[in-house]
Every structure is written in structure tokens, then in C-alpha cells.
Amino acid sequence: MGAKAKKIKLKTKSSAKKRFKVTGTGKVRFRRANRNHIKTKQSTKRVRHARANGVLCDSDAVLVHRMLPYA
């Protein structure tokens, strides 16, 4: 048992990889919903505010960091 035990490689969740991006400071950015189609029934204000990317709160960011172990 003198040999070093190898650490298991963790898999990245593909769904999280496509939806979130981790910034250099460790914050998690995401794309807002309701941006793709049927914008005619949405108010201009709603469409305009959806353009900006959001930043997850710290408690949700912990979950995303668990899904993206190497980001």
C-alpha cells in the first residue's frame, strides 16, 4: 500500500458548461432568459434588460462551481 493513490478525475456537467461562464475573480455569469423568440408581446424594457448578462448570487454560484470543477 505504499503506492500513491490516484485522485479520481471529476466530470464537468455538459449542461452547466453550455450555460455558465466563470470570470477571473470566480463570479459566475449567465445569459438571461426570454431572449430568443416571440419578443413582440414583450415590453421594450423587458427585452432591453434581458440583453445584459447576469451574475449569480454566491449561494447559487457554489452549486455551479461544483458542476464545473475545473473552471
User: What is the residue-level pLDDT of the chain in tens, covering all 71 positions?
Assistant: 567 888 889 999 999 999 999 999 999 999 999 889 999 999 999 999 999 999 999 999 999 999 999 98
pLDDT for residue 3: 72
pLDDT for residue 1: 56
Structural domain for 43, as ranges:
30-71
Question: pTM for the whole thing?
Answer: 0.77
Helix-strand-coil split of the chain, %, nearest 5: 30, 10, 55
Question: Is 14 a member of any domain?
Answer: no
Question: Is 7 a member of any domain?
Answer: no
Count how many domains the chain has: 1
Residue in the structure block whose three cell numbers are 448570487: 57
Using an 8 Å Cβ cutoff, are 65 and 57 in contact? no
pLDDT for residue 54: 95
Please state whether beta strands 20-22 and 54-55 pair in parallel, antiparallel, or not at all (unpaired): unpaired
Question: Is 34 a member of any domain?
Answer: yes
